[in-house]
């Protein structure tokens, strides 16, 4: 249930981020976007070439015959369009909670490159659930918490694992082994407010019809600001942006604004119709 709620929220955020991006691009003036002269920013992970990816997937499948998941186009653990055919692990006595956690930690330590985790000591778990499946064995679903890099949370960096009969049978998600954090932000909190002033965000009524909400000076008075790292994925790369997370209660919206360029790169409503 926790996983389903998270997936629904992520889909909602993705939809509204696209809509929000279009709206902001239409309403932003040239003077509202900063010039980023830091060539190291943002950290970028590019899509792997076909030959490299094919080799990595073959080696990974051979080393992990029970896995139905594989490696994404960017070289991290994840699902492909279809589940892979895999061996079913032999029935063993049910694992305890501690034993299941140790299985996950062992899997992560053996696949640090594909999971972007430098040390399992940094791993914390946000969800540990189990239930009995049709053959009578106990299945475990274990999810790590978000990655924290130099004190900043990295958005949507869960690692989900599914354990049956002592074997990890699926794994998806990743951390990032390296993220460049600029020494100084180009966009201050006050500058972020000036960029957001008079912009329009959209909620939706019960029929799905957009409801425009204008960000006013008054609404920004009660807005809260924090920072995190936001992975922005396109077809051929993932860019890791340091962003202002601006929560604006009066318009029921959260906006992600790049601290170096001032660009709005995402956001989502805090209420559902």
Same domain as 237, residue 203: yes
C-alpha span between 79 and 84 (Å, rounded): 9
Same domain as 263, residue 204: yes
Beta strands in 69-223 (DSSP E): 70-71, 77-78, 125-132, 138-144, 147-149, 152-154, 160-164, 167-172, 200-204, 210-214
Q: How distant, in Å, are the alpha carbons of 41, 118, 142, 159, 212 from that of 78?
A: 26, 18, 15, 9, 36
What local confidence, expressed as pLDDT, does residue 206 receive?
87
Query: Which of 210, 267, 238, 272 minimizes the C-alpha distance to 13?
Result: 267
Place of tokens 């912009």: 199
> pLDDT, tens digit, for every residue of 157-182?
999 999 999 999 999 999 999 999 99
Residue-level pLDDT, tens digit, the chain, 273 residues = 545 445 444 545 554 444 454 344 334 444 455 567 678 999 999 999 999 999 999 999 999 999 999 999 999 999 999 999 999 999 999 999 999 999 999 999 999 999 999 888 889 999 999 999 998 999 999 999 999 999 999 999 999 999 999 999 999 999 999 999 999 999 999 999 999 999 999 998 888 899 999 999 999 999 999 999 999 999 999 999 999 999 999 999 999 999 999 999 999 999 875
Same domain as 116, residue 230: no
Query: Which of 254, 105, 122 minimizes the C-alpha distance to 176?
Result: 122
What local confidence, expressed as pLDDT, does residue 170 receive?
97
What local confidence, expressed as pLDDT, does residue 13 receive?
58
* End-of-domain residue from the set 107, 140, 172: 172
C-alpha span between 45 and 14 (Å, rounded): 20
Query: Which of 24, 1, 79, 7 minimizes the C-alpha distance to 267?
Result: 24
Query: Which of 125, 118, 126, 121 minimizes the C-alpha distance to 179?
Result: 118
What local confidence, expressed as pLDDT, does residue 39 receive?
87
Same domain as 189, residue 156: no
Domain that holds residue 93: 49-172
Same domain as 130, residue 102: yes
Give the bridge partners for 70, in sequence order: 78
How does 120-149 read in b/e, with b if 16+ C-beta sit within 10 Å?
beebeeeeeebeeeeeebbbbbbbbebbeb
Domain count, the chain: 2
Same domain as 167, residue 95: yes
Same domain as 119, residue 81: yes
Same domain as 95, residue 63: yes
DSSP-based three-state secondary structure for 47: coil
Q: 99 Cβ partners below 8 Å, 6+ apart?
A: 166
- Name the region of 16 (left: φ>0; alpha: ψ -120 to 50; beta: rest): alpha
Same domain as 161, residue 67: yes
Same domain as 25, residue 53: no
Helices (H) and strands (E) in the chain, counts: 6, 15
Same domain as 109, residue 24: no
What local confidence, expressed as pLDDT, does residue 135 receive?
87
Q: How distant, in Å, are the alpha carbons of 178, 196, 237 from that of 171?
A: 21, 39, 21
* End-of-domain residue from the set 148, 172, 196: 172
Same domain as 61, residue 111: yes
């Amino acid at each position: 249930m926790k996983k389903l709620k998270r997936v629904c929220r992520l889909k909602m955020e993705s939809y509204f981020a696209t809509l929000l991006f279009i709206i902001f691009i239409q309403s932003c003036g040239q003077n509202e976007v900063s010039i980023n002269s830091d060539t190291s920013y943002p950290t970028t992970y590019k899509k792997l070439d076909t030959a490299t990816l094919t080799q990595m997937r073959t080696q990974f499948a051979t080393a992990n015959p029970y896995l139905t998941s594989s490696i994404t186009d960017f070289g991290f653990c994840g699902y492909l369009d279809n589940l892979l055919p895999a061996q079913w692990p032999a029935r063993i006595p049910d694992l305890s909670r501690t034993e299941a956690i140790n299985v996950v930690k062992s899997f992560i330590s053996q696949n640090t490159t594909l999971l972007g985790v430098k040390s399992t000591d940094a791993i914390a778990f946000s969800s540990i659930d189990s239930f009995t499946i049709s053959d009578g064995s106990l299945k475990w679903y274990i999810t790590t918490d978000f990655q924290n890099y130099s004190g900043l949370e990295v958005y949507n960096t869960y690692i989900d694992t599914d354990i049956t009969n002592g074997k990890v049978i699926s794994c998806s998600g990743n951390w990032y082994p390296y993220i460049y954090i600029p020494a100084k932000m180009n966009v201050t909190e006050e500058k972020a407010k000036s960029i957001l002033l008079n912009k329009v965000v959209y909620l939706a009524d019960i029929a799905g019809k957009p409801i425009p909400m204008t960000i006013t000076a008054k609404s920004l008075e009660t807005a809260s600001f924090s920072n995190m790292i936001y992975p922005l994925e396109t077809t051929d790369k993932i860019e890791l942006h340091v962003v202002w997370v601006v929560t604006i209660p009066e318009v029921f919206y959260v906006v992600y604004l790049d601290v170096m360029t001032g660009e709005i790169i995402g956001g989502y409503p805090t209420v559902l119709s």
